[in-house]
């Protein structure tokens, strides 16, 4: 028995639409990451977004946009902020948002 039983069979047109949506999501997220890195977008502005693609960005990827925060440091930061490694913007609670904002504004801005 195959594990692909629950995967919907798409027509070529449906597949093209899905691929186009995925490409658009990647472009939007890449632009947001670039804006965070350049300081054109604040963490507060990011967390207030209503864009469906941006809200699905993982906190791990967001943290890595900031100078001095790399692959090795992210798990320690997220553990300190009590945020799961697979959490997205949409999944953050108010306490976690406040902790993330405080961390970025106090710790990251120093670098």
pTM of the predicted model as reported, rounded to 2 decimal places: 0.81
Q: What residues form DSSP beta bridges with 58?
A: 88
Report pLDDT digits (tens) over 65-96: 998 898 999 999 999 999 999 999 999 999 99
For residue 4, what are its two tokens?
A: 């692909």
| Sites in the chain below the pLDDT cut of 50 | 1
* Per-residue pLDDT at 79: 95
* Per-residue pLDDT at 1: 45
The torsion angles phi and psi of 104, rounded to 5 degrees, stand at -60, -45
């Amino acid at each position: 028995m195959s594990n692909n039983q629950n995967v919907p069979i798409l027509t070529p047109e449906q597949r093209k639409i899905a691929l186009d949506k995925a490409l658009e999501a990647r472009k939007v997220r890449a632009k947001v990451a670039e804006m965070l890195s350049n300081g054109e977008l604040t963490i507060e502005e990011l967390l207030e977004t209503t864009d469906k693609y941006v809200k699905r960005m993982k906190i791990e990827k967001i943290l890595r946009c900031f100078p001095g925060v790399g692959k090795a440091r992210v798990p320690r930061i997220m553990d300190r902020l009590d945020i799961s490694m697979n959490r997205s913007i949409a999944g953050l609670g108010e306490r976690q948002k406040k902790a993330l904002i405080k961390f970025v504004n106090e710790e990251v801005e120093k670098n």
